């Protein structure tokens, strides 16, 4: 019978009756309106408790009873404030989970930051209810915050850059990107993005893992290659093997596109970056490089033999 009444009420009004024992965050209401209501309840509760603390009725009570009432107000305010802050955090997490443009980790960070601010507000009001002067505490906290901010400047810059990367999303995990900035002395770093965290972005360049700070990425010129069917390998080549010959031999071996880019020069070898399609096995690259090395060694031995044979030894006349 009760189920039929509920169904009839739902069909007539379009709303289900709300169970007031549920959390505010679970009520059928727009999340932003719900968050505004929670904030207003928090501010109104702080005002009510502040007025109750300054009530003239408490002046006619004994000191012991007045002290007990003050602590009772503090405990009651703490319980209500903490409960409202938790409800507010649930609402923020729900908004972040439903938003397609906002990363989940950004929503989690915002919820934690909002919770920290809310708990600080609850603490300040509680100290005010206990008639503790908080001016010196706020000044000391501000001074400590400035010192910590200066000491952790690089860490905070990477953290805020990570928040911007999560929010703006110039690239995502799985994209192949190339980064160039003055902080890298003009050197380009390329690779497939395999991880983005609060402080670093990790690129995979063949077998090399490059960990770049987010603050440098935020001011970099970013080139995103849409073709994801490319795999990269970085390997050293001896100076006896030409990069052009290696590229031509690799194109013949894979029967498709393959590029070889020179990256760095060392004492005995120079480093190249090989780009081949994803279906190419790495053993093909190894076999091609081994073949060129063998041909280079054979050519070198032949050249040495020719040089040695071009100057035949002549018999010196024996002394008379």
Q: What is the pLDDT of residues 194-213, one digit of tens each?
A: 888 888 898 887 778 888 88
Q: Name the residue with tokens 């190894």.
A: 286
Residue 3, domain member (yes or no): no
What pLDDT is recorded for position 68? 80
Reported confidence tier of residue 305, pLDDT bands at 50, 70, 90: low
Tell me the angle at which helices 135-151 and 153-168 cross, rounded to the nearest 10 degrees: 80
Do 193 and 279 share a structural domain?
no
DSSP state of 25: G
Residue 73, domain member (yes or no): yes
CATH number of domain containing 243: 3.30.70
Do 247 and 203 share a structural domain?
no
Residue-wise pLDDT for 227-283, tens only, equals: 556 677 778 888 888 888 888 998 888 888 888 888 778 777 888 878 888 778 888
With beta carbons less than 8 A apart as the criterion, state whether 220 and 181 touch. Answer: yes
Q: 164-168 — which CB contacts under 8 Å span 24+ positions?
A: 164/218, 165/196, 165/201, 165/214, 165/217, 165/218, 166/103, 166/105, 166/106, 166/196, 167/102, 167/103, 167/106
β partners of residue 178: 190, 223
Handedness of CA 274, 280, 281, 284 (dihedral sign): negative
Percent helix, percent strand, percent coil in the chain, to nearest 5: 60, 15, 25
Residue 314, domain member (yes or no): no
Residue 255, domain member (yes or no): yes
Q: Does the pLDDT at position 161 exceed 80?
A: yes
Q: Does the pLDDT at position 182 exceed 60?
A: yes
Q: Tell me which residue of 240, 176, 242, 241 sits closest to 210, measured CA to CA.
A: 176
Provide the mean pLDDT of the chain: 76
Instruction: Read off φ and ψ for residue 171, nearest 5 degrees.
Output: -150, 170
Reported confidence tier of residue 317, pLDDT bands at 50, 70, 90: very low
Q: Does the pLDDT at position 8 exceed 60?
A: no
CATH number of domain containing 216: 2.30.30.100
Range of lowest pLDDT (17-31, 75-89, 141-155) = 17-31
Q: Does the pLDDT at position 5 exceed 60?
A: no
Reported pTM = 0.47
Do 139 and 52 share a structural domain?
yes
Number of structural domains (the chain) is 3
Q: Does the pLDDT at position 17 exceed 50?
A: no
Range of lowest pLDDT (71-75, 156-160, 298-302) = 298-302
Residue 11, domain member (yes or no): no
> What is the arithmetic mean of pLDDT over 285-312?
70
Reported confidence tier of residue 183, pLDDT bands at 50, 70, 90: confident
Do 131 and 62 share a structural domain?
yes
Reported confidence tier of residue 79, pLDDT bands at 50, 70, 90: very high
What pLDDT is recorded for position 144? 78
> What is the arithmetic mean of pLDDT over 49-68?
74
Query: How far is it, in rounded angstroms, from Cα 275 to Cα 256?
Result: 11
Residue 236, domain member (yes or no): yes
Residue 10, domain member (yes or no): no
Residue 165, domain member (yes or no): no
Q: Does the pLDDT at position 57 exceed 70?
A: no
Q: Name the residue with tokens 């480093």.
A: 271
Q: What range defines the domain where residue 98 resides?
A: 21-151
Q: Does the pLDDT at position 306 exceed 50?
A: yes
């Amino acid at each position: 019978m009760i189920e039929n009444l509920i169904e009839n009420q739902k069909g007539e009004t379009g709303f289900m009756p709300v169970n007031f024992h549920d959390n505010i965050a679970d009520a059928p209401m727009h999340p932003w309106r719900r968050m505004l209501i929670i904030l207003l309840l928090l501010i109104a509760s702080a005002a009510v408790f502040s007025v109750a603390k300054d009530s003239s009725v408490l002046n006619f009570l004994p000191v012991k009873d007045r002290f007990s009432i003050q602590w009772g107000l503090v405990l009651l305010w703490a319980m209500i404030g903490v409960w409202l802050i938790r409800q507010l955090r649930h609402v923020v997490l729900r908004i972040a989970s439903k938003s397609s443009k906002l990363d989940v980790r950004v929503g989690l960070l915002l919820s934690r930051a909002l919770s920290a601010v809310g708990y600080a507000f609850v603490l300040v009001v509680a100290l005010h209810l206990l008639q503790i002067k908080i001016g010196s505490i706020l000044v000391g906290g501000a001074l400590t915050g400035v010192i910590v901010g200066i000491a952790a400047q690089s860490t905070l810059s990477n953290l805020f850059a990570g928040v911007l990367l999560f929010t703006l999303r110039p690239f995502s995990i799985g994209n192949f990107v190339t980064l160039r900035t003055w902080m890298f002395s003009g050197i380009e770093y390329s690779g497939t993005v395999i991880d983005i965290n609060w402080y670093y972005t990790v690129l995979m360049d063949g077998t090399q893992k490059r960990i770049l700070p987010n603050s440098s990425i935020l001011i970099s010129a970013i080139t995103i290659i849409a073709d994801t069917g490319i795999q990269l390998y970085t390997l050293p080549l001896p100076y006896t093997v030409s990069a052009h010959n290696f590229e031509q031999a690799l194109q013949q071996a894979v029967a498709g596109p393959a590029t070889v880019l020179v990256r760095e020069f060392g004492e005995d070898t120079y480093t190249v970056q090989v780009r081949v399609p994803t279906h190419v096995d790495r053993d093909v690259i190894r076999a091609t490089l081994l073949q060129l090395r063998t041909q280079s060694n054979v050519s070198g031995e032949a050249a040495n033999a020719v040089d040695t044979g071009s100057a035949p030894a002549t018999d010196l006349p024996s002394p008379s």
